[in-house]
Amino acid sequence: MAEQNADLQTDELSAAGCHEVFVDHASGVLDRRPELEKVLERLRPGDTLVVWRLDRLGRSLRHLIDTVTALDERGVGFRSLRESIDTTTAGGRLVLHLFGALAQFAGDHPGPDHGGAVGGSGPGPQRWPAFEAESGSGAGGPPVV
């Protein structure tokens, strides 16, 4: 079943135009995720990081917001296929700001779950961010965002 889920994720990322998929075979709660580190190092201004689902990137809402904010500061877009979030659009940036406000609120008012977790759960490989280099690639075709 996990393999079918991995195939579904890879298929959807490929259909979205991603030319490379990075995979970490570990729980989303682990601190060290070498494939995520690798893709984050490779991203350049004008690139867009594409994930199948938000929980593939962030271990918590705060971690997700911090990561996407850091990408934005580097001129890198972010897109989540399942949640239809695309920070290269005005609507996507609005959603990100709303998430940030929720994370701030949760931090100011910790409840039993301390704001909730977006992190992955369950067995099987985590699908990591795929990305399409948009700037200077000269690959032709519509840019993937």
pLDDT tens digits, one per residue of 69-92: 899 999 999 999 999 999 999 999
Q: Which of 143, 42, 88 is nearest to 96 (CA)?
A: 88
CA angle 139, 144, 145 (to 5 degrees): 145
Contact 67, 61 (CB under 8 A): no
Percent of the chain, pLDDT > 90? 28
Domains annotated on the chain, with CATH: 8-132 (3.40.50.1390)
Contact 68, 87 (CB under 8 A): yes
pTM: 0.67
Average of per-residue pLDDT values in the chain: 75
Write the pLDDT tens digit of every residue in 104-113. 887 776 655 5
At residue 19 the predicted structure's pLDDT band, cuts being 50, 70 and 90, is confident
